[in-house]
């Protein structure tokens, strides 16, 4: 009898890239639903649009690069990129903005670097940076959260705004969009208002919830919960979000204690904008993160530090994308200097040095 030959190990295993991506996508569902509930249909419309574009671009690039299409198109990574990008974009972002961001993410940031596993920068964040730098005005089309006194757009209205660019007759841009809590704080702090005054302002104070931005705290809370589940299951590495949140907490707490009138409290930092999404879903992209355990702590903490710096003193209200890309650059260096001590070796060999006894021979 003749048998098949194969390399060990011979136990069929359960893990797959597809499975990982699918689980991460599934974990994003509750937070995404919260976003749709609080910020309207724009989120869903853009997710569908971006996913279709991402899959098409992925297929096209695989075809051009003569790679097998089926295993890669079904790995879920393109859809994940599309979702992450859309969740970072304003809900009323025009269709062409979403398309440009997605195309840039998939084609340039991912495939021109070699496709899955070879991209040094997080594709979704690259796509985001391209659109925020190129189209700053459209990137302000955020919808106010589901609140009394603010207009809620219907599905068809949202559709026509995103694809047609024209507003329903009764509305003006000012009525249907407004600055995010983070943006508001930034602008008003610049106008010499204190945090307390901003949060209790009669015009826009309503967008602040009990701990973060109204609505945003739910979104962040859900991403935190499902993210923790992923971390417990070992699907994402818990050290990255832990490092990120810890760094942000320490910094924001220190500054708020120093001057609570000019610096936002830590809870506001954690539960406004996309912090939990960034901590558990964006920064944990394994391809672009550091891989050693210590490196992952530092990588996460580095992102937290940069987010705080950009939010506090930078030109952009939320600095997640820039923080992530900056730390992507640092990942190889972190990996190099945080190499674990191999079994049976001493710490003094660290970092590994090229053998010098070769020269003696």
Partner 1 sequence: MTRSSRQLWHFHGGLKLESNKAISTQSPIVKARLPKRLILPVQQHIGEAGALLVKKGDKVLKGQAITQSTEYVSAPVHASSSGTVIDIDEYPAPHPSGLNTLCVVIETDGEDKWTELQPTHYINTKSPAELRQLIRKAGIVGLGGAAFPTAVKVNPGPQAHIETLIINGAECEPYISCDDMLMREYATELISGCGIIQYMVSATHCLITVEDNKPEAIKAIQAVINEQALHTIEVVSIPTIYPTGGEKQLIKVLTQKEVPSDGFPSDIGLLVQNVGTAVAVHKAIVLGEPLISRIVTVTGEGVKQPQNMEVLIGTSMSELIEQSGGYHDDACKLIMGGPMMGFTLQTDHLPVIKGCNCLLVENTPEETPATMPCIRCGACASVCPAQLLPQQLFWMASSKNFELVQDYHLFDCIECGCCAQVCPSQIPLVQYYRFAKTEIWSQERDRIKSDHARVRHDFRQARLELEKKERAEKLRKKKELLEKKKIAEAAAKNDTPETEIDPKKAAIEAAMKRVQDKKAAKQNNNTSSDE
**Which CB, 272 or 292, lies closer to partner 1?**
292
- For residues 198 and 194, give the distance between their C-alpha atoms in angstroms, rounded to a whole number: 6
Contacts of 54 (CB under 8 A, 6+ apart): 78, 79, 81, 82, 102, 105, 106
Q: Which residues lie across from 213 on neighbouring strands?
A: 208
**Which CB, 260 or 341, lies closer to partner 1?**
341
Q: How far is the CB of 340 from partner 1 (least distance, A)?
A: 5
- Measured on CA atoms in the order 304, 308, 310, 315, is the torsion positive or negative? positive
Q: How far is the CB of 21 from partner 1 (least distance, A)?
A: 9
Q: How far is the CB of 118 from partner 1 (least distance, A)?
A: 7
**Which CB, 15 or 210, lies closer to partner 1?**
15
DSSP letters for 5-39: --PSP-S-----HHHHHHHHHHHHHHHHHHHHHHH
Q: How far is the CB of 78 from partner 1 (least distance, A)?
A: 13
Which chain residues interact with partner 1 by CB under 8 A? 1-13, 15-17, 19-20, 68, 71-72, 75, 115-118, 234, 237, 286-287, 289, 291-293, 296, 335, 339-345, 352-355
**Which CB, 2 or 172, lies closer to partner 1?**
2
- Measured on CA atoms in the order 68, 74, 75, 79, is the torsion positive or negative? positive
**Which CB, 5 or 210, lies closer to partner 1?**
5
Q: How far is the CB of 227 from partner 1 (least distance, A)?
A: 16
Contacts of 83 (CB under 8 A, 6+ apart): 25, 28, 32, 47, 50, 51
């Amino acid at each position: 009898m003749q048998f098949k030959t194969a390399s060990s190990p011979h136990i069929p295993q359960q893990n797959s890239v597809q499975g990982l991506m699918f689980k991460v996508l599934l974990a994003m569902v509750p937070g995404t639903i919260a976003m749709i509930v609080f910020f309207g249909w724009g989120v869903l419309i853009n997710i569908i649009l971006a996913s279709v574009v991402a899959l098409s671009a992925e297929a096209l690039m695989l075809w051009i690069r003569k790679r097998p299409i089926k295993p890669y198109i079904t790995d879920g990574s393109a859809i994940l990129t599309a979702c992450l990008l859309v969740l970072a974009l304003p809900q009323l972002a025009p269709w062409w903005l979403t398309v440009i961001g997605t195309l840039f993410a998939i084609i340039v940031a991912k495939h021109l670097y070699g496709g899955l596993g070879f991209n040094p920068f997080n594709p979704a964040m690259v796509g985001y940076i391209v659109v925020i730098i190129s189209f700053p005005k459209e990137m302000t089309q955020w919808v106010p959260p589901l609140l009394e006194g603010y207009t809620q757009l219907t599905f068809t209205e949202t559709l026509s705004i995103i694809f047609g660019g024209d507003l329903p007759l009764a509305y003006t841009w000012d009525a249907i969009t407004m600055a995010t809590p983070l943006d508001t704080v930034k602008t008003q702090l610049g106008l010499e208002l204190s945090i307390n005054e901003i949060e209790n302002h009669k015009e826009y104070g309503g967008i602040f919830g009990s701990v973060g931005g109204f609505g945003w705290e739910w979104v962040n809370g859900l991403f935190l919960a499902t993210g923790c589940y992923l971390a417990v299951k070992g699907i994402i590495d818990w050290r990255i979000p832990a490092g990120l949140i810890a760094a942000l907490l320490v910094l924001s707490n220190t500054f708020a204690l120093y001057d609570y009138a000019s610096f936002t409290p830590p809870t506001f930092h954690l539960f406004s904008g996309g912090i939990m999404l960034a901590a558990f879903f964006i920064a944990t992209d394994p391809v672009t993160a550091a891989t050693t355990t210590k490196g992952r702590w530092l990588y996460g903490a580095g992102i937290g530090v940069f987010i705080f710096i950009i939010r506090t003193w930078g030109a952009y209200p939320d600095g997640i994308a820039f923080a992530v890309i900056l730390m992507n650059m640092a990942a190889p260096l972190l990996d190099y200097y945080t190499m674990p001590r191999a079994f049976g070796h001493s710490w003094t060999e660290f970092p590994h040095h090229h053998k010098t006894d070769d020269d003696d021979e």
